[in-house]
């Protein structure tokens, strides 16, 4: 199992639900959650064979910033 953490510019809970739904249509086995309380508006994704670039591309296509944290 791989866990990746991303910094985003997502502000609203409704937006997080939308982003999670879109990602899960493509990757139904991933566990996805946001921490909007964190200053980096964290997106956390857990899954097998997780490709960070795919997550970044999906979030960017939805109009949000998404940067992998090291």
Tell me, what's the pLDDT at 66? Answer: 98
What digits encode the pLDDT tens for the residues 42-61? 999 999 989 999 999 999 99
pLDDT < 50 regions, the chain: none
Instruction: Output the pTM of the full model.
Output: 0.94
Q: Is the dihedral of CA 52, 56, 7, 62 positive or negative?
A: negative
Residue in 12, 13, 10, 11 with CA at minimum distance from that of residue 55: 10
């Amino acid at each position: 199992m791989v866990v990746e953490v991303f910094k985003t510019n997502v502000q609203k809970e409704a937006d997080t639900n939308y982003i999670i739904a879109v990602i899960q249509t493509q990757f139904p086995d991933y566990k996805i959650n946001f921490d909007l309380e964190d200053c980096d508006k964290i997106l956390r994704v857990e899954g097998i064979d997780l490709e960070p670039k795919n997550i970044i591309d999906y979030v960017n296509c939805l109009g949000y910033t998404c940067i992998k944290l090291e």
